[in-house]
Structure 1
């Protein structure tokens, strides 16, 4: 596994992305798994899903600077957490890459997606007409930045029943290869504002957010 990107956003928050080049056996050799995790691994379809799951756990050990066992269960909504560390975490993966975001500042979310034209076919499923109005010339990268932002906030708030289309609204922004946007989340009759950062990474788009930032 090769570290391709490590960024410290501040003293409390950092994320890393790794390119997965190892086999399942090579990744397993770097981990200690309990019985629950072994069962989880067995339940995954072989191939990329297994590699993604293993790679995020190896990456956690890198960021926490330990080769010891790290408990990383998921709650009832599938949101991972670290019961033995003060960090909030978020995991992501796409094709040959895996990513981890961790913060002591607050809940966080990260999403990595490979950029493809297929997003043009589904844009109305996750973007309101008012949001599509500021997309510049069907800019595929800008649409992916919006998708990653909504996915990142979805993960931050706990993978709970929130609609990208109905409950999230992105305010107009000028797309650049790296920037920030404002996302409004309406949930439980309350509206929250999030500053979501995005950036182009090779052939991928990356979005990340930390509560209170």
Structure 2
């Protein structure tokens, strides 16, 4: 099985699945009733990559709860469980999918593969009053954390204006894992969020619940 990471704390849990199996193997990891419905749903996709991502999320969810749950989507594209037993957030990047769950509050999670694109588009999401720091003398990791954290916050927020420059990260020095604060200026509440993060060999992961 390819359960890569798992974490639980204070009502929130998240996990990361490394996509290594074939579609047939992934289907075999689901209960029979869910397997049949997923086989039908997979026919909607033409991209093999998209099939893998979609199915891996369902397998990861089942491995986290050991219960058969159905993921549905709101008109805005926000995922939720049909029985409303948990709040859910989903993310994927090359080779991995991530799922966060909470029984108490809306959640956000984001996973981003290491890559240089964040340098080219940094003016779209880095504010003049933010100071990005390097991790192991590599600024790319810092930029990825800023991008990922802002993705996570907008997944957590309801009906917010998705302008990354309306989010401000408090200054922090990246470590292999930790937390930092994010202030949002997209709503009248201007809420302060705590974001957890991890840096792995080829991706960053961020999440929030509060």
- Which bracket does the TM-score occupy, shorter chain normalised? 0.7 to 0.9
Classify 1:50/1:100 alpha carbon distance in 2 versus 1 (closer, same or farther; 3 Å). Answer: same
Could you say which residue in structure 2 is the equivalent of 1:47?
48
Cα deviation per residue 1:94-146 (whole Å; 9 max; x = unaligned)? 11111111011311010011111221111111111211x34347711111111
Cα deviation per residue 1:131-168 (whole Å; 9 max; x = unaligned)? 1x343477111111111110111111147542112x21
CA distance in 2, matches of 1:138, 1:126: 19
Cα deviation per residue 1:57-110 (whole Å; 9 max; x = unaligned)? 1111111112x4x22101111111113142111111111111111011311010
Could you say which residue in structure 1 is the equivalent of 2:99?
100
Classify 1:89/1:188 alpha carbon distance in 2 versus 1 (closer, same or farther; 3 Å). Answer: same
| TM-score (norm. length: structure 1) | 0.86
Could you say which residue in structure 1 is the equivalent of 2:58?
57
The correspondence for 1:135, drawn from 133, 136, 139, is: 133
Structure 2 unmatched ranges of 5 or more: none
CA-based RMSD: 2.3
Indicate if the aligned counterparts of 1:77 and 1:160 stay in contact, CA closer than 8 A: no
The Cα shift of 1:9 comes to: 2.1
CA distance in 2, matches of 1:120, 1:138: 12
Classify 1:52/1:117 alpha carbon distance in 2 versus 1 (closer, same or farther; 3 Å). Answer: same
**SS in structure 2 of the partner of residue 162 of structure 1:** coil
Could you say which residue in structure 2 is the equivalent of 1:21?
20
**SS in structure 1 of the partner of residue 24 of structure 2:** helix
Structure 1 unmatched ranges of 5 or more: none
CA distance in 1, matches of 2:2, 2:53: 14
Could you say which residue in structure 1 is the equivalent of 2:145?
145
CA distance in 1, matches of 2:171, 2:3: 34
**SS in structure 2 of the partner of residue 81 of structure 1:** strand
Could you say which residue in structure 2 is the equivalent of 1:204?
203
Could you say which residue in structure 2 is the equivalent of 1:8?
8
**SS in structure 1 of the partner of residue 119 of structure 2:** helix
Bigger shift: residues 156-165 or 47-56: 156-165
Could you say which residue in structure 2 is the equivalent of 1:193?
192
**SS in structure 2 of the partner of residue 17 of structure 1:** strand
